[in-house]
Chain A
Amino acid sequence: MTGTRSRYRYVGRPMPVIEDRRFVRGRGRYINDLAMPAMLHLAVVPAPVAHARLLGVDAAEALASPGVVAVLTGADLVEMMEPVPQELALPEVIWYPLAVDKIRYAGEWVAAVVATSRAAAEDAVELVVIDFDELEPLVDPRRAMRPDAALLHEAQGTNVVWNERHTWGDVDGEFASADHVYEYSYRWNRHSGVPLETFGAIAQVDQTGILEIWASHQNPDIQQEAVRVMRTPKVKVHMDIDIGGSYGSKRGRKQMYLTAAAAIRARRPVKFMEDRIENMQAGDGHGPDRYYTVKVAASAEGMVRALDIDVIEDLGAYCGRGPRQITKPTSAVVGPYRIPAVRYGGYGVLTCKTNQVPFRGAGQSPHNFAIERTMDLLARDLGIDRVELRLRNYIQPEQFPYEIPGGAIYDSGNYPGAAELAIKQARFEDLLAEQAEARAAGRLYGIGTAGGIEPGGAAAEHGEGVRIEVDATGHVVATIGFQSAGQAHESMVTQLVCEELGVEIEDVIVQRGHGLGGIYAGAPTGSRMTQMLGTSIYQCAKKVRAKLTAIAAFTLEVEPDEIEIDGTTYRVAADPAKAMTWKQLAKTAYGPRLKNPPGMEPGIVELNVYAGPDIVTKRKLTTGAKQFPTYAFDFHVVVAEVDPDTCEITLRKYLVVHDCGTVLNPLVVDGFVYGGIGHGIGGAMYENFAYDENGQLLAVSFMDYLMPTAAEVPTVELHEQCTPTPLHPYGAKGAAEGAYMTAPAAIASAIEDAVAPLGVRITEVPITPQLIFDSMMAARSNA
């Protein structure tokens, strides 16, 4: 227990998670559990080929099928709505929920059938006839970049939609004068959040003409966007359901607008619940898909002087929100290292694949993989110990706040401390002895290490709102403006309200709003809500206390600064017998005006929007990436063994030291770390949205998109280090992404160490037995 925790009644305690009580009984309420009277169901017609000119859609037979109410095509949507907004506003890359004039990836939705049941809709889907003229599929972005490649969006004139190069510091000078220069290449294949709940939406037009949308989305800004896209100010996006996992991937803009258009067309409520294939093929839910080339300049002692990082990002068929993932890593472009000069740039390329979505780290995980792989390979090439090389290059604890190339400022950290704690807790010397023994016995046994930075508090400048009301009986209602996907926000709000107002858990009700509810809210992205919502609650509670203090002072006939607060009791400091209880204060606030200070508004209803610390809101990074207030850190030690015959990989040990500053609720934060590692194991070893040469997705079920089960994830040993941030009232940093960002690098490090005696280097994920086998064969033939 650290000193910072004991100051608090609630902060730092493993407070039982309020949401869990309903989840264990099956009482969570997800989008698929909602139904409206007379509701219709939607199913989509997927494109059979990856690239084609769309000549026509014949829905006559489908419309005659039992239960079918309507069939929508891209042409219908062009009339009814604006295109779906994208990260890069390119006038010729136009995106509608249904294909309009071209099919741009296999599985793209070409038509939507609306019927009285999902089964009736699916029956009719098979009767829709698509007429198309097939074109060259664009599967490899390196091919799609070439001037002679077919064009996905002809009017755009190129498949390259992002091409920037940023130089910070004397990159050329450092490379020219470096003792050593190395170049490494990496491949990060597509995987993603893949929540167990697919995306779903329900839309209807209510009795007042307002378009209502419920969906398993994580983005309250849909409210504003829907107003523009659906061409009506009368939109109400609800935000009060449970989301069955997101990890950033539950954005579903296309799905919501398609459902809304269907509800308007059918004049009845419509539900669209993706099935698994719809979700995997065309749900716009895939993660980064990258080719890296990293050049590194280093001194003889292994001090990294410069990095030159080149990225080719396969964005999929439309820009969507994917390009954000290319620039986001520049908020921590050097990782935890003191590297004075960096060049970062590359290409974002459109291909015949479903769109990317910014998920869990928004591109930071592959970036960290590239940085940490580079540190390992550099250590091997220079003959310096991997851990020692990192320790030499780490930003030191006394150097914070630390500005990195590109302008991002790290708030605080103790990277050597975390690394050394991990080495100690893992009994690294013993591991090395075990490895020597195993190798002597012919076993492929490796130890891996990696550290990683987690920027926390995304989009701070967009603010986060909360409304706290204390009713006349003293109960507290806290209203927030977004819905959660497992981050235990209700529990955090309750915990902090109790901390700041002195009330008990049973006295607090947490409500979620809707788009017309007057709560300014951002999305729970970029490990944001502890930083942003947490601070907003802290500030809002202060307003509530100020009002209660004014009432107490007026009633007790003293000045407000003579009042001291002890839990829920407000009393005169100099005369503690003169006091008001919480219930008396609440009753007074709603009581006769004569009993309240002159001019005071009746009731206790305070609204607060926290707009982030100045250090963030007054700066912008040159890449356009968001500046983050806080930077957490974790360091992983992994032991992996590779079967020399089958190349099967087993993780024998997993240890992590995690430092996100003050931990508000260890039950929750531990879960994020464990879950992030599980997710990282999936990305590092199993998960791959692979496409064949014709652009057909090969992983369209959980039989071929392999996610780790309890049998694959080893027991994780978790240790905490606590370096509080000065930029948060409790010293807390973001926590939900870091472990996922670091795990693939650490696992690759361990597997490489296992097979290093065979001359194999690991530069690609997922690291499958096939990849290892092929690498072994290649190493053997090169030898």
Chain B
Amino acid sequence: MVEPARFPITLTVNGMPHSVTVEPRRTLLDCLRDDLVYPGTHVGCEHGVCGCCNVIVDGALVRSCLMLAVQADGADVETIEGVGTEDELSPIQEAFCAKHAMQCGYCTPGMVMTLEDLLRGNPQPTEAELVDAVSGNLCRCTGYQQILQAARSVIADNAAKAGQA
């Protein structure tokens, strides 16, 4: 058997440009975790159901296990490592801590990326829109109650701010 061919790609992750050579079968998830070492994006099911690997690619929420790395050539990728900082968490991250919207933390990065994506485009979604968005991510620990509580608290803050403006 011969060694598989590799292709060079360039992509930006959290504002940082990267050049890397990948096999065409390699997923964006593999590339982010193993080649570029962004381990906050988690491996869950590797078939696009659980949402643990959600990242934002060119402004759209993506299952990084279902996207090939070569498809991300030239893309602008945002991972959990690009959301908030040690000293200043994003409002969603802050709310997740306040409501304890997690237990083991494994689904959390994907869940945060889903809500970042939702609330950036639509700061005051309806309850149905919120549940619809969160239902794209599995969580085995929380039963979703505290996740939804956290999200609702951010949405309420957004509404209050919009009311003041």
Contact = CB atoms under 8 A, between A and B. Distances in A.
Contacts of B83: 25
B77 interface: no
Given A24-B89, A485-B104, A713-B143, 9 more contacts: A16-B100, A22-B105, A24-B102, A25-B84, A32-B33, A196-B50, A197-B104, A675-B140, A709-B144
B147 interface: yes
Contacts of A20: 96-97, 100-102, 105
B49 A701 contact: yes
Contacts of B26: 119
Contact of B142 (A24, A485, A675): A675
A486 interface: yes
A28 interface: yes
Contacts of A428: none
Nearest to A18: B97
B97 A17 contact: yes
Interface stretch (A83-91, A202-210, A224-232, A242-250): A242-250
Given A196-B106, A710-B148, A25 B80 contact: yes
28 contacts: A20-B96, A21-B97, A24-B105, A25-B80, A25-B81, A25-B84, A26-B109, A64-B1, A196-B139, A243-B104, A246-B104, A247-B140, A275-B46, A486-B103, A486-B141, A488-B100, A667-B99, A667-B146, A671-B146, A675-B140, A678-B145, A707-B138, A707-B140, A709-B135, A709-B136, A710-B137, A711-B132, A713-B143
Given A24-B93, A710-B131, A710-B134, A678 B143 contact: yes
B135 A710 contact: yes
B39 interface: yes
Interface string B77-96: 00111011010010001001
A668 interface: yes
A32 B43 contact: yes
A211 B160 CA distance: 57
Interface string B111-150: 0100000000000000000011011111111111111100
A24 B100 contact: no
B25 interface: yes
Contacts of B42: 26, 30, 32, 196-197, 244
Interface of B: 1-3, 23, 25-26, 33, 38-47, 49-50, 52, 79-81, 83-84, 86, 89, 93, 96-109, 112, 131-132, 134-148
A670 B146 contact: yes
A655 interface: no
Contacts of B103: 245, 486-488, 671-672, 675
A64 B2 CA distance: 11
A195 B140 contact: yes
Contacts of A671: 100, 103, 141-142, 145-146
Contacts of B104: 23, 195-197, 242-246, 485-486
Contact of A677 (B100, B106, B143, B147): B143
Contacts of A21: 89, 97
Contact of B144 (A242, A488, A710): A710
Contacts of B86: 25
A64 B41 CA distance: 34
A272 to B, nearest CB: 14
